[in-house]
Amino acid sequence: MKSNKELFAELDTFIEEKHNDPSELIAILHKAQGLFGYLPMNVQQFIADKLKINVSRVYGVVTFYSFFTMVPKGDNVINICLGTACFVRGANDLLARVEEILKIKNGETTPDGKFTLTTLRCVGACGLAPVMQINDKTYGNLKVDDIDGILSQY
């Protein structure tokens, strides 16, 4: 795993490749999130300083787009599909069960950093609805009773 210093150096190089151009802010934030996994305030401040813009402008963009996050991701990312096919087949009940077991809400990470829970709109596996993904693995045709057993594998 890279150190924070190395991550900042890599981000610095990327920003320079973009000629410290504020119009590249979204691309730079994507790069930063890819490096750090999320966008904490010190990373936002670093970017603002490099682009010579106010950090509130960076913060505004981060909070506007749902694909940017200021919360560190857990070791395992759970995605529950809430697309139409999954929804009509009970995806909401799956979500409720995961929230109950992990004691977190959609979008949150467990205090031990083990799981992050998120939802998606159709992951392209409608034939398997309802679908849940954990990291790169897809679980289909799920029932609420399956959830405990699956989570205990992580």
The residue ranges that bind ligand FES (CB under 6 A) are: 81, 83-86, 122-126, 129, 131
Instruction: Tell me how far, at minimum, the Cβ of 125 lies from ligand FES, in Å.
Output: 4
Check: CB of residue 118 under 8 Å from CB of residue 98: no
In this chain, which residue has its C-beta nearest to ligand FES? Answer: 83
> Which C-beta is closer to ligand FES: that of 111 or that of 127?
127
Contact 117, 98 (CB under 8 A): yes
Instruction: In angstroms, give the least distance from the CB of 138 to ligand FES.
Output: 9
State residue 128 phi and psi, 5-degree precision.
-100, 10
First to last CA, the chain: 21
- Tell whether omega for the bond before 130 is within 30 degrees of 0, i.e. cis: yes
- Identify which of residues 20 and 92 has a Cβ nearer to ligand FES in the complex: 92
What is the dihedral sign for C-alpha 95, 90, 79, 81?
Answer: negative
Report the residue number, 47 or 81, with the smaller CB distance to ligand FES.
81
> Shortest Cβ distance from residue 30 to ligand FES (Å)?
25
- Residues 122, 129 contacting (CB under 8 angstroms): no
Q: Provide, rounded to whole angstroms, the least separation between the CB of residue 93 and ligand FES.
A: 14
**Which lies closer to ligand FES via its Cβ, residue 7 or residue 122?**
122
85 touches 141 (CB < 8 A): no
